[in-house]
Structure 1
């Protein structure tokens, strides 16, 4: 099992299309948070959908054209987490989402913070991204706009609610599953390090 530092080197370029897309997502976070808290739902939905689209495109373009960079590896997960955090807080503030969902997902972030801290203490820049983690983000970024659309009495709102919660449950489970995969991976790396040292 390899660590990020042992992979093929990535570019140190800053001005690339994937990095610009990730930067635009970051710029949109405070605007999105303002929109959702002040109930400008159309703007919030547009920004959420744009975030999901650019999240898909920046990774696709980076892999397809060999534009993977250190900056991109930093910006992409930061943008994901900021959108998820701001959406969670905004939806919970408006009583669309129960606060236990916020606690469960923030607890996973705290858990991952410990995993990453231990990895860095052993000189590892990070652990390889798992498909489960990307799938979790995908599900959550679909769940949130659907749950926002479900905040109403229309027929569409009644349909959006169970679909949104379906994506939310898959996202929550996969988010924690990916965290546990990282922990297992870290445990194996530590065991390998001890075996080499012995």
Structure 2
């Protein structure tokens, strides 16, 4: 199905993509339980199921014109919660340093503040920048790859350098995208209201 122009965004709640996002949100506590208890193989399975549902909800939303306002909130929320759960679990087990957790959480706090500022000026959430998506993808690759090395130590000599490369680039791009959001917020704050 081809779309011309921007897709229609509906206010519907019960769509297939939204149900998949709700399921992903429900999987976060299970994932965190597995990762905190060093059940890395089970945590990886949950993460793979979540990633597949994330891919499917995007494809279904676009293909069948089921893009909703709720979905635009649920999808990134589920992404961020999985990243936070993985960061908390891996940092608590000393697989990654706490500074990486702090770097990523600090950027998220900054985005919340920017969201409040743009709401104060009468604007909705800032549009997602492609660099932010690339950064999130980098972290989405990094954390499972690092977990893979934990679940199967015999492959850690390969997975650890690759996982750390994605983690460091993801964190760097996360902040780069964050500064782009700061610039967007400054532009929004200068638009005359009235």
Mapping of residues 106-117 of structure 1, within 5 Å: 106-117=105-116
Q: Quick one: distance in 2 between partners of 1:8 and 1:188? A: 25
Post-superposition Cα deviations, 1:28-75, rounded to whole Å, max 9, x if no partner, equal 000000000111111100111222222222122212221100110111
Q: CA deviation at 1:100?
A: 0.4
Question: Structure 1 pair 152/80, CA: closer, same or farther in 2 (3 Å)?
Answer: closer
| Contact 1:22 1:55 (C-alpha < 8 Å) held by counterparts | yes
Residue 93 of structure 1 is matched in structure 2 by: 92
Structure 1 residue matching 2:80: 3-state secondary structure: helix
Report how many residues are paired. Answer: 189
Q: CA deviation at 1:154?
A: 4.2
More moved, 115-124 vs 44-53: 44-53
Residue 103 of structure 1 is matched in structure 2 by: 102
Structure 1 residue matching 2:94: 3-state secondary structure: coil
Question: Structure 1 pair 153/48, CA: closer, same or farther in 2 (3 Å)?
Answer: closer
Q: Quick one: distance in 2 between partners of 1:8 and 1:120? A: 23
What's the C-alpha RMSD, in Å, of the aligned pairs? Answer: 1.8
TM-score by length of 1: 0.89
Q: CA deviation at 1:18?
A: 0.9
Q: CA deviation at 1:163?
A: 0.6
| Contact 2:18 2:74 (C-alpha < 8 Å) held by counterparts | yes
Residue 185 of structure 2 is matched in structure 1 by: 186
TM-score by length of 2: 0.91
Q: Quick one: distance in 2 between partners of 1:139 and 1:153? A: 21
Q: CA deviation at 1:187?
A: 1.3
Q: Quick one: distance in 2 between partners of 1:153 and 1:50? A: 19
Q: Quick one: distance in 2 between partners of 1:93 and 1:100? A: 12
Q: Quick one: distance in 1 between partners of 2:107 and 2:41? A: 30
Question: Structure 1 pair 147/56, CA: closer, same or farther in 2 (3 Å)?
Answer: same
Q: Quick one: distance in 2 between partners of 1:26 and 1:135? A: 21
Residue 21 of structure 1 is matched in structure 2 by: 20
1:40 and 2:39 aligned? yes
Q: Quick one: distance in 2 between partners of 1:144 and 1:152? A: 12
Q: Quick one: distance in 1 between partners of 2:89 and 2:130? A: 27
Question: Structure 1 pair 186/70, CA: closer, same or farther in 2 (3 Å)?
Answer: same
Q: Quick one: distance in 1 between partners of 2:184 and 2:169? A: 22
Q: Which structure 1 segments of 5+ residues have no match?
A: 1-6
